[in-house]
Amino acid sequence: MSTDLVKAGKYISMLLRHRPEEAGVILDDHGWTDVEDLIKKVSPKYEITEEMLHQMAFAPDKQRYEFSEDGKKIRAVHGHSVKVDMEYETLTPPEILYHGTATRFLDSIMEQGLKKMSRQFVHLSEFTEQAESVGKRHGKLVILKVKAGDMHRDGIVFYKSVSGVWLTNNVPVKYLEVMGD
């Protein structure tokens, strides 16, 4: 993807997940907004087309947006801090999930557990490669193993986004293990 498309994608993710009001974008209760209207609202900053939105939605590293069946609406599939009801399905997670983070957060995480911070959920990865790229964004990488199977058997609910990202409300310390320790 071109640098401009990546930048436009980051801006659109910000609007669809965190601050729609910055460009006057209206999200409905389930996080959807009108595609044509979004293109118009983004146009002072980035000239984008519907085709470009599709390219950003299904980026090679990860799906980030989805389109309604008629193609007229778009929403982010994970990562929200705005309170929208994504109607995620509850699912049985794999035994182990991964969370990539920065070493500077480790003491706090091993004291308080993984918290959702500004987002609606804690985000977990099914594969270490994905956890690696998520963690690196924050600094020196450390990967945590999450005993998702044990959590699920203890009654903790998991959801999965269509992007393959697993979501839960928080991960208590007893289900965490630092990889490589």
Say how far apart CA 38 and CA 127 lie, in whole Å.
Answer: 32
Pattern 105-144, ligand HQG, x by CB under 6 A = x--xx--x-xx-xxx---x----------x---x------
Q: 4 to 43, contacts with ligand HQG by CB under 6 A?
A: 13
In the bound state with ligand HQG, the residue whose beta carbon lies nearer, of 72 and 104, is: 104
In the bound state with ligand HQG, the residue whose beta carbon lies nearer, of 13 and 128, is: 13
Please return the burial class of 59, using the count of CB atoms within 10 Å of its CB with bins 0-12, 13-18 and 19+.
middle
Any long-range contacts for 152-158 (C-beta under 8 Å, 24+ apart)? 152/92, 152/93, 157/90, 158/90, 158/91, 158/92, 158/93
Pattern 147-176, ligand HQG, x by CB under 6 A = ------------------x-----------
Q: 4 with 56: CB under 8 angstroms?
A: no
Return residues touching ligand HQG (CB under 6 A): 13, 62, 64, 78-79, 101-102, 105, 108-109, 112, 114-115, 117-119, 123, 134, 138, 165
